[in-house]
Amino acid sequence: MAINFNSNEFKRTLVNLAMNVLRAPEEFSSFILTEPDIQGEVNAEAMRVSLYYAMALLAYGFTPEDTALKESARWFATPFPTAQRNQVDAAEMCRLEGTLLLRPFDPSAQGRLKQLVKQRTPDGRRFEIQDPPSQYDLLWALKLLNLAHKQKVLEPSLIAPDELREMLDNAMLSDSLPDKDLALALRLRFELFGGLLPEQEQKFLRGRLINNAQRNGLWDLTHDNTWLAERMRHHDLSLMDIQQHYRAFWKVIQSACTVIENLSVLMPTYGVELQQVLLPAIDLWWSAFNADQSDDAAGELRTIFSGRTEDYLMSLSLTLIALRAFLDEPLIHRAASYVHTQILDHPGDRSSSSEKEMLKKALRDFLQVEFEQEPEKLNLGLSGAVVLRVHPVVRSPLYSEETIFNKPLVIKYGPADEIRLEHENYKKLPDVIRGYFVNIPREMYPDPTQQRAYVIMPDLYQFKTLYESLSILPRIYPALMQRLSAFLINMHRANSYNPVRAPRGILYDLYLLPMQQHVALIFNFLNNEKLLVEEHDRQHANMLQQKLVEQLADLTRYQMQIEGFPRAYMHGDLHTRNIMIRHNAPHANGEVEVAIKLIDLEKVRADGDAALDLGQLLVDVDLLLGDPRRLNDYHRPLVEIIQQVVAAYQEFARERRDAQFTRRVYLARARAYVRVAKGKTRQIEQHLRNGRPGLALDVTREMLSHGQQAAKHLQTVLKALKQTVS
């Protein structure tokens, strides 16, 4: 029976395969995202399986911003060259492909691309990747160079698209390409040229690939193994057949999935003609492991590939990738409806659940909610969310409109993903530090029509932000001197006194990648808006951009030196508007007690860096105080508090043997200045909308000043690192 892509059986199997892919890194850690050996090496097979695992997640519908693929991106993106690696071999090609798919602007991609181009043969027609070189090396290299071109990270000076086209057409002159490689060549030809030549269409597409499928049902079959496809067609291929002819079977399955993936790109042009050969091929493979429509198709694949774990994992990924290409949509679009239906069909005790929901709805409709006064907008953190203080009054008409509730509350709303992330981060906090943060109840209220969500929190009406408390600091700063640093360090420590190393790649994730993205955004914005009309301003901006880009590229080379630091709970957005202070009336002896809470949890993480929080706080205070030569008695309490905080952090670093802490603080300060500079783009846009170009130019110069400060701190880090190396 032909496969039905709209059936529940298909969707159930799809979910089963995807769930097994998602679980694979935990279950098969020696094959997927595996830890490198003592020399920092990962074997080529594990690299290949990890690449296809990431490609399968993309096929299912995950994005590079999702947690699983963020971890994969960190794993692929390692510096190049290294002491062990200065040539692009098969493993390095997998790293490059994974990086181009998930994090194309990573500097390590440029290093590998440049080296790959250098590995052309003297005649310029081939690439030397594997030993001995294969025909596939050329197509693989062209595939990645084309991918880099599409991702807009292939420098024209490195290799021009016309060169790629010429090399591809030379490669297609060969009659010895296997079917799966020929399918890739046709896809590349289609993408690089926009179509096939009539003779290529006739000779390769129809004369080879379509003809082979019509004759045998699959591809890369020889006269000795055409019976494999025949038995698959009649559901008569036994496990013994597979084991006895395993290499031929596995080669055919890989070819089938690869040909389907690559020829599917041509379907908009050759629609029915291609569909008539690709669909039966999908059906042949699908029925090989799902003929009985079992609930565990992945289990059937395990049986087929018994004892060959890497092939089992590859079969899972290749299947999802081929289906994604053929259906031309993320697979989750098909699977989600099945999951949704299952939840509706099996919600537990439906009558009880329905009854409770109706009771709650009846009560909500019955009780009267009004506002005693207009909602008050609060200016707290720097996120894009709106924070309101409301004064609701809840009354019951049964008891002469008796007041049931009349306490102030805070409602925060904004983009659904941000609110959901803050909500999830709060739930993950250990009990020992949960009280350090504003309480976020478990209920969240999404508004799908506006793509935003609401969360209701207690009103910290007795608290003021540290920013708002500057005027009373002279009264409370002795207490704050004692409490603030201890509070922050206890939050970082989370009651754990045995430091654990932060995950590999986190330095890039926390520092270098955000700075690269922000720098690109800032200077693209300046170029697009054409704000700098004076030649010296433009030259200054161009030189600053070049300097920042070069500094970040240099830092990537030293990344491994600064990594391996002890991880810490990290707020991730620590500044004077996210630190809330409450103080009591002075005691008889004049002492004042203070309580502290943190708000804005979108960036909280358990595997973070305490240095990042300190660096951001220091920059915020620097901007708050302004020119240090103009400090006065009004500012002095804050200066002393921050000096005490810095001293406490230095002791914290010594205790944890964190030798690179100070360098990362400078790195964090650079990151904070770049982030603040990026934030200025919103102010500039607003001034331009309001017809105030003069103010827009003033803010632009502030933005460049922040960039200069960032470059200064980056230079401090680089100087220290280079001295260590020398």
**What confidence tier does 381 reach under pLDDT thresholds 50, 70, 90?**
very low
Pairing of strands 409-415, 376-377: unpaired
> Would the pLDDT of 617 be above 80?
yes
Locate 592 and state its tokens: 């004042």
Distance CA 222, CA 216 (A): 10
Query: Residue 353 in 3-state DSSP?
Result: helix
In the chain, which residues fall in CATH 3.30.200? Answer: 350-458
489 confidence band (pLDDT: 50, 70, 90)? very high
Alpha-carbon 298 to chain mean position: 27
Q: Between the ranges 76-90, 183-197, 292-306, where is the mean pLDDT highest? A: 183-197
Helix (H) or strand (E) holding 566: none
Q: Is 260 helix (H, G, I), strand (E, B) or coil?
A: helix
Count CB-CB contacts under 10 A for residue 518: 22
Show the CA angle centred on residue 245, arms to residues 242 and 251, nearest 5°.
90
Residue 134 pLDDT greater than 70, yes or no: yes
Supply 713's token pair. Answer: 């701190």
pLDDT tens digits, one per residue of 142-169: 999 999 998 889 888 888 888 888 888 8
Residue-level pLDDT at 351:
47
Q: How many CB atoms lie within 10 A of CB 127?
A: 24
Range of lowest pLDDT (435-439, 627-631, 693-697): 627-631
Residue 650 has pLDDT above 90, yes or no: yes
C-beta atoms surrounding 451 within 10 Å: 10
Q: Is the pLDDT reported for residue 434 higher than 70?
A: yes
Instruction: List Cα–Cα distances, 28 to 50, 187, 198, 320, in angstroms.
Output: 11, 32, 47, 18
Residues of CATH 3.90.1200 domain(s) within the chain?
464-725
Highest mean pLDDT among 65-79, 335-349, 641-655: 641-655
Tens digit of pLDDT for each residue in 506-545?
Answer: 898 899 999 999 999 999 888 887 878 788 888 999 999 9
Confidence (pLDDT) at 350 = 44
Range with the lowest mean pLDDT among 57-71, 225-239, 310-324, 386-400? Answer: 386-400
Chain segment 54-80, per-residue pLDDT in tens: 999 999 988 888 888 988 998 998 888
Identify which of 29-43, 351-365, 616-630 has the greatest average pLDDT. 616-630
pLDDT above 80 for 346 = no
Tell me the CATH number for domain 350-458. Answer: 3.30.200
Q: Residue 382: its pLDDT value, please? A: 46
Q: What kind of fold does domain 464-725 have according to CATH?
A: Aminoglycoside 3'-phosphotransferase; Chain: A, domain 2 (3.90.1200)
Per-residue pLDDT tens digits for 531-588: 787 888 889 999 999 999 999 999 988 888 888 899 999 999 999 989 999 887 666 6
Q: Give pLDDT, residue 246.
A: 92
Give the pLDDT confidence of 267-316 residue by residue, as tens digits.
999 989 999 999 999 999 998 888 666 678 888 999 999 889 999 999 99
Structure tokens at 598: 């943190």
| Proportion of the chain above pLDDT 70, given as a percent | 90
Give CA–CA dist 11/339, Å, rounded: 9
Reduced to 3 states (helix: H, G, I; strand: E, B; else coil), residue 605 is strand
Long-range own/partner contacts, residues 495-501 (CB < 8 A, 24 or more apart): 495/430, 495/432, 495/433, 499/566, 499/567, 499/656, 499/657, 499/658, 500/566, 500/567, 501/564, 501/565, 501/566, 501/567
